[in-house]
Amino acid sequence: MEPRLFVATKAFVMHSGKILIVRESDAYADGTNAGKYDLIGGRLNPGERLEEALRREVKEETGLNVEIGSPFFADESIPRPVVRGEEWQVVKIYFPCKSRSDQVTLSGDHNECLWIDPREYLSVRLIENLYPAFSAYLKTQTHS
């Protein structure tokens, strides 16, 4: 059976030099990484623009309004997640975002949030397939 293809946007939400990460809850119906930290983001709805999807996801998952920059990295989830017996191919596009606030209101999909120094991403229980995105993010910061 062919995998289901999704496009997702992911946000490196920055506030006061820190990046927002959220811990996946057991209650997240489409989750495959309960207890691990992720970036804010999610799948596009048909016809939705990338920035619209990201703005919607950030607002739904955190209550934050963000300023969205240009995408800096793209990849796909490896290994591919299996959700309700179905293999998903998730192509992810990463955007730097700025928030004027650090006051987060989490959705039920997540049960904790942290603001971390992006250089310390290896010290938290992050979903491993995010490591290349953090590495790419750090490279953009040294050249900006």
Mean pLDDT by 10 residues, the chain (144 residues): 92 97 78 83 95 96 97 91 87 97 91 96 94 96 64
Q: What is the pLDDT of residue 34?
A: 74
Q: What is the pLDDT of residue 33?
A: 72
Query: Which residue range forms the structural domain that includes residue 123?
Result: 4-142
* Closest among 89, 49, 90 to 71, alpha carbons compared: 49
Structure tokens at 49: 């623009």
Q: What is the CATH number of the domain that holds 24?
A: 3.90.79.10
Q: DSSP character for 130?
A: G
Structure tokens at 6: 């999704």
pLDDT tens for 30-48 read 666 778 999 999 999 999 9
Integer Cα distance of 90 and 76 in angstroms: 5
Residue located via tokens 């119906």: 29
Domain count, the chain: 1
Q: Judge if the upstream peptide bond of residue 71 is cis by omega within 30 degrees of 0.
A: no
Integer Cα distance of 64 and 71 in angstroms: 19
Sign for the pseudo-dihedral over CA of 116, 106, 39, 93: negative
Integer Cα distance of 7 and 77 in angstroms: 11
What is the enclosing helix (H) or strand (E) of 25? none
